[in-house]
Amino acid sequence: MPDTWHKDWTGAKRRLADWWNRKGVCLQVLAAKAEPWELVPDPGEPRSLEQAYLDAEYRSAREHWFRSRTWHGAQTVPVANLDLGPGSLGTMLGSEPEFTPETVWYRPCIADPDSYPPIRFDPNQRWFLKHRELLQATVDRAQGRYYAGMPDLIENIDTLAQLRGNEELMMDLIERPEWVERRLWEINEAYFQAFDALYEVIRDEEGGNAFCAFCLWGPGKTAKVQCDESAMFSEAMFRRFVVPPLRAQCEWLDYSMFHLDGTHCMKHLDALLEIEALDAIEWTPEPTVPGGGDPCWYDLYRRILSAGKSVQVLAPKPEEVGPLLDAIGTDGVMLLVWGTEEDAERLERLLG
């Protein structure tokens, strides 16, 4: 089997495993590599939207070419992204995707909530089979050079909103709260079954997996979890509807990181920090506020770390890395930096 396209993947895995346990600092830099790992053919631009999203041969070849030209040093996870947009689980549960050159939209499928049957995972459902086909093609082509990442499944309220519609779900929370709670537990069970089925395709020899969103790897079942809909929730609603299935999800996973998306979701941080099984929190500032490396977020990161969680800092500028670590420390901190190969090499030397 070929070597992993990484400067020291054995050492990187050790550091990544430590990060989940609140030890040390991890550096990931997303940068182009001047000299490719191997010379592989460029499959070119897709001929159609169908090829761009659904053609397993094309997508695996495109990822293979892209990975061969990507810097994988420090603790950067060599992971290919094969999902069908952020909301893969919803497609497996009835939401039809609508593909555009820029993104994927999802059509709701629950028109009458009272007569809608239980939400169940079906291993023969066509969008699940398509995800599995994409992953298997990539695993076969990679041959251990890089990982096929777990798709960005999404879960909890976000998936129910995808199936029901945002406005409709907001009304359901008031008019039929017990229905919402029941559906969330159905989605949880579907999530576990879908994850397990895809995990068997992508798991490594240690039982670990990579997750495509936010470039995660852990030596067990590993995922990013989220609830972007919670920007519209009160703290009481978040604790009632989101926390119970989220806690169960974190307990089921071996390694979990919550994607905290924007300042409107920050009011739920206390509830998140109370979930003992949640290992880490990632912070995504919205475009209208300073970026993740700005000093205005130092107290937020300290608060997460002091609660015994690891933290992922999204997109600090290379020049912000030193002051950031001086301010918040280096235990349990992951930096996900966009930069050049020169930035990557310099930061790798800085952090060791």
Chain centroid offset of residue 210 CA: 9
pLDDT tens over the chain, length 352 residues = 689 999 999 999 999 999 999 999 999 999 999 999 999 999 999 999 999 999 999 999 999 999 999 999 999 999 999 989 999 999 999 999 999 999 999 999 999 999 999 999 999 999 999 999 999 999 999 999 999 999 999 999 999 999 999 999 999 999 999 999 999 999 999 999 999 999 999 999 999 999 999 999 999 999 999 999 999 999 999 999 999 999 999 999 999 999 999 999 999 999 999 999 999 999 999 999 999 999 999 999 999 999 999 999 999 999 999 999 999 999 999 999 999 999 999 999 999 8
**How far is CA 336 from each of CA 15, 303, 311, 344, rounded to the nearest angstrom?**
14, 19, 11, 11
Predicted local distance difference test score (pLDDT) of residue 196: 99
Alpha carbons within 13 A on the beta-carbon side of 10? 1
Tell me how crowded residue 337 is: count the other CB atoms within 10 A of its CB: 24
Tell me how crowded residue 284 is: count the other CB atoms within 10 A of its CB: 17
Total domains present in the chain? 1
Q: How does DSSP classify residue 325?
A: H
Predicted local distance difference test score (pLDDT) of residue 352: 81
Question: Rounded to an integer, what distance in angstroms lies between the CA atom of residue 57 and that of residue 73?
Answer: 28
Answering whether pTM is above 0.85, one says: yes
Among all chains, which residue has been given the structure tokens 């919205």?
286
Evaluate whether residue 230 is within a structural domain: yes
Evaluate whether residue 126 is within a structural domain: yes
Query: How do 255-261 and 222-226 pair as beta strands?
Result: parallel
**Would you state the torsion angle of the CA atoms of residues 259, 260, 265, 269, taken in this order, to the nearest 10 degrees?**
110
Evaluate whether residue 333 is within a structural domain: no
Question: Rounded to an integer, what distance in angstroms lies between the CA atom of residue 352 and that of residue 345?
Answer: 10
Question: Rounded to an integer, what distance in angstroms lies between the CA atom of residue 217 and that of residue 118?
Answer: 33
Evaluate whether residue 31 is within a structural domain: no
- Looking up residue 135, the CATH number of its domain turns out to be 3.20.20.210
Predicted local distance difference test score (pLDDT) of residue 2: 86
Evaluate whether residue 139 is within a structural domain: yes
Evaluate whether residue 286 is within a structural domain: no
**Would you state the torsion angle of the CA atoms of residues 284, 171, 236, 244, taken in this order, to the nearest 10 degrees?**
-80
Evaluate whether residue 344 is within a structural domain: no
Q: What is the per-residue pLDDT across 256-312, written as a single tens digit (0 to 9) for each?
A: 999 999 999 999 999 999 999 999 999 999 999 999 999 999 999 999 999 999 999
Q: What is the per-residue pLDDT across 189-227, written as a single tens digit (0 to 9) for each?
A: 999 999 999 999 999 999 999 999 999 999 999 999 999
Please spell the DSSP secondary structure of 41-58, one letter per residue: ----S-SSHHHHHH-HHH
Full residue range of the structural domain in which residue 208 is found:
9-24+42-272
Evaluate whether residue 2 is within a structural domain: no
